[in-house]
Chain A
Amino acid sequence: RKEVEQDPGPFNVPEGATVAFNCTYSNSASQSFFWYRQDCRKEPKLLMSVYSSGNEDGRFTAQLNRASQYISLLIRDSKLSDSATYLCALENTGGFKTIFGAGTRLFVKA
């Protein structure tokens, strides 16, 4: 089983829709979790960290479910500019390495 798994998509949604992505992980010792956004042929950029209590940044909400070992990203009121690949990432205890998922592609259409 891969350490981090994401549905590759693509997710095709109309503008204004709400869309959610999940990312499952296999190592229960994983400590820190993140969502990154990657535009086509560009580098990934940190979107938000994921905390146990959940966190929200405008239209974006990230949540962590340790019992079921997954994190989620919810995007409300989707914009055309949200079209990108969303990568989840996790860091294990005491490690300097972060493990990235393969990403979920999102297309928002007018």
Chain B
Amino acid sequence: DGGITQSPKYLFRKEGQNVTLSCEQNLNHDAMYWYRQDPGQGLRLIYYSQIVNDFQKGDIAEGYSVSREKKESFPLTVTSAQKNPTAFYLCASTGRTGYTFGSGTRLTVV
């Protein structure tokens, strides 16, 4: 079945540490996205990529970085510069009918 796979499901980060969240899709979608969701809040766009080797900052890109070396993969790195990284991170891609989301990664700073 086609879909988006995010890993890991849960991730714990120490202060000052960089961590990378994986996102892989086999839907053959060109556009991919990273969103952050905090409790009781909507989805906020971190980065998006319309095509391989190209990506743009979203509304809250500070402290994050991405790469798009392959169509199928769009990993997100949460750097030590992100001061409040504890959140639910969702990767998505778009086809003809709306967004398809991965099952998300819950990141907690310990």
Chain A residues within 8 Å of chain B by Cβ, number: 20
In the complex, the answer to whether A44 meets B101 with C-beta atoms within 8 Å is: yes
Choose from B42, B97, B102 the contact partner of A102 (Cβ within 8 Å). Answer: B42
In the complex, the answer to whether A98 meets B40 with C-beta atoms within 8 Å is: no
In chain A, residues 1-59, which have Cβ atoms closer than 8 Å to a Cβ of chain B?
4, 8, 34, 36, 41-46, 49
The range of chain B's interface size is 20 to 34
A36 / chain B contacts, CB cutoff of 8 Å? 98-99
Q: Do most interface residues of chain B lie in helix, strand or loop, or is the interface mixed?
A: strand
In the complex, the answer to whether B42 meets A44 with C-beta atoms within 8 Å is: no
Bound-state Cα–Cα, A34 to B40, Å: 20
Interface residues of A (CB under 8 A from B): 4, 8, 34, 36, 41-46, 49, 87, 89, 96-98, 100-103
- Shortest A93–chain B CB gap in Å is 16
Given contacts A42-B103, A44-B43, contact A97 B97 (CB under 8 A): no
In the complex, the answer to whether B42 meets A43 with C-beta atoms within 8 Å is: no
Bound-state Cα–Cα, A49 to B50, Å: 22
- Shortest B56–chain A CB gap in Å is 8
Given contacts A43-B103, A46-B97, A46-B98, contact A97 B48 (CB under 8 A): yes
| Minimal Cβ-Cβ distance residue in A for B90 | A43
In the complex, the answer to whether B48 meets A43 with C-beta atoms within 8 Å is: no
In the complex, the answer to whether A87 meets B58 with C-beta atoms within 8 Å is: no
